[in-house]
Structure 1
Amino acid sequence: MIEDWIENLILARRSGTRFAPTENGPRTAAQAYDIQAGVVGKIGAVGAFKTARKPGEVMTFAPIFAANLVQSGADVPVSGMMGIELEVGLYIHTNLPPDHAGLSASALAAFVTPVVVIELVDTRVAGPLANDPMVKLADNQINAGLVVGDHALDWAGADFGTVAAKFTAGSEVILDGAASVPGGSALETFAALAQHLGPHCGGLQQGQIVIAGSLHPLVYVPKGTIVQGQIAGIGTVRVNLV
């Protein structure tokens, strides 16, 4: 089952299509992570990791391929609708020490720089299993890419819990005002990932970005939309969905 899912997800990514399984999906997080690792092993380098850290729930994580990272202002081809999320990212500017899994969030702050990002969201799966949580996890939490915006200037290491942010898609205002980072702390989310990720999909590496979760509910927008975001204390980000 795991090998079949790996091959189908790779084919879907390379062809830009979706496949519609009817049974034998991953049933556990361990199986989903095995599928993630198998796809990474055959597609290539990881440029970022996305996380989900909610009170009372087990933390989940997924790789984002380096090939799917674009810089702010880029044109990104879209075949139909694309999910968008404004997020705080943490860019790893210096190699983490071997004992980084045991470091506190405040200690890890010395190795990262905040960056404003837009996560792009789309699935490789169609049919009844597309909304299954373990299927989504296996499919890299339905990540389709990451738009990398400004890095914070003169950041002194303060955490991001509640931020002032604005996010628009064309004329639609998605967010304008105070917003909470999921779990209440971007640095604590980074520390939790450092503790749990281990060597999965190559582990945390210099040059990667860890995104801390959406500042608002997921929104889908059509081809032709200009998407712009801003987070106070970090900067701005923009992408053109073409």
Structure 2
Amino acid sequence: MPFDIDAAAAALVEARRTGKRLDALPEGARPGSEAEAYAVQDAIARILGPVAGWKVGAPGPAAAPARAALHADTIFVEAETLPASLFHVIGAEAEIAYRFGRDLPPEAGPYDREAVLAAVVTMHPAIEIADTRFATFGAVDAHSQRADQQNHGVLVLGPGLTDWHGLDPVTQPVRLAIDGTVLHDHVGGNSAVDPVRLLVWLANEGARSLGGIKAGQVVTTGSCTGTDFVTAPTRIVAELPGLGSVALAIG
């Protein structure tokens, strides 16, 4: 039986719109490969509208990266509070994000580190909330999770820093506090180690099927703190000294 991309996309979009969670994707609509998972992501992107950003990450310094296209309805700039009703689960992560000031069309590549960073206009502290359209977080197969925007809930950006060129994300200090208790306080912490490698991959490969990175899009580059699951009401604060801080109350 051929894989039904449209049925997978429709099920995930319906779960997103109604809040009714899925036990699994329908038979015949469960991706069996990275390519099929990305095809579902892309079909969802065509339903939800213009891509406003991306999340990208990798489980190790030499591991292949993975991406998810994000949309304006889940990207918030300096949002102070969000309602708990937006979430099924709340997985708090401190991240580093980059906003691009010009297009990086795939046909003009390949791009090296310098070319990709030259297109960045601001660097941001960020909080990503991991969430799921499935009934139980992490219970379905990895390809289904990838199809579901790689467990994306919302992205909250702190103020953008224009004079960011002296900051090294590999040695960036990061603190994450939940309800006033510091859970993480260390240097670096991204499983990919070097977030810029992820940006280069996204520009050259990951974003290709959706037209590449576009001016105005923001790219968040994976958790520096792992994922801490919390319950509402809660207040999450991510501090990245030299880059800035961002706080989010969920209630």
| TM-score (norm. length: structure 2) | 0.88
- Corresponding residue of 2:97: 89
Q: Give the SS at the match of 2:159.
A: strand
Give me the whole-angstrom Cα distance separating, in 2, the residues matched to 1:203 and 1:16: 30
- Corresponding residue of 1:75: 81
Give me the whole-angstrom Cα distance separating, in 1, the residues matched to 2:64 and 2:176: 29
Identity over the aligned pairs, expressed in percent?
A: 27
Check conservation: 1:110, 1:157, Cα contact below 8 A: no
Return 109-118 or 125-134, whichever deviates more: 125-134
Shift of 1:212: 1.2
- Corresponding residue of 1:121: 130
Q: Give the SS at the match of 1:46.
A: coil
What does 1:121-160 align with in structure 2 at a 5 Å threshold?
121-126=130-135, 130-156=139-165, 158-160=167-169
Shift of 1:78: 1.8
| TM-score (norm. length: structure 1) | 0.91
Match of 1:31 among 36, 50, 60: 36
Kindly indicate whether residue 61 of structure 2 is the aligned counterpart of residue 52 of structure 1: no
Give me the whole-angstrom Cα distance separating, in 2, the residues matched to 1:181 and 1:163: 10
Return 132-141 or 183-192, whichever deviates more: 183-192
Could you list the per-position Cα deviations for residues 126-147 of structure 1 after superposition, in whole angstroms to 9, with x for gaps in the alignment? Answer: 2698331101100010101100
Change in Cα spacing, 1:130 to 1:7, as seen in structure 2 (3 Å) is farther
How many corresponding residue pairs? 242
Match of 2:6 among 3, 7, 22: 3
Shift of 1:239: 1.0
Structure with a larger share of its residues in strand: 1
Check conservation: 2:91, 2:228, Cα contact below 8 A: yes
- Corresponding residue of 2:204: 195
Structure 1 unaligned residues grouped into runs of 5+: none
Return 195-204 or 209-218, whichever deviates more: 195-204
Change in Cα spacing, 1:237 to 1:129, as seen in structure 2 (3 Å) is closer
Check conservation: 1:106, 1:187, Cα contact below 8 A: no
Give me the whole-angstrom Cα distance separating, in 1, the residues matched to 2:133 and 2:244: 31
Q: Give the SS at the match of 1:141.
A: coil
Shift of 1:65: 1.3
Check conservation: 1:182, 1:212, Cα contact below 8 A: no
For the aligned residue pairs, the C-alpha RMSD in angstroms reads 2.1
Structure 2 unaligned residues grouped into runs of 5+: none
Give me the whole-angstrom Cα distance separating, in 2, the residues matched to 1:143 and 1:180: 19
Shift of 1:30: 0.8
- Corresponding residue of 1:205: 214
Q: What is the one-letter code of the residue matched to 2:224?
A: L
Could you list the per-position Cα deviations for residues 56-114 of structure 1 after superposition, in whole angstroms to 9, with x for gaps in the alignment? Answer: 43221111111111122432122453111100111102333665532211232111121
- Corresponding residue of 2:67: 61
Return 25-34 or 70-79, whichever deviates more: 70-79
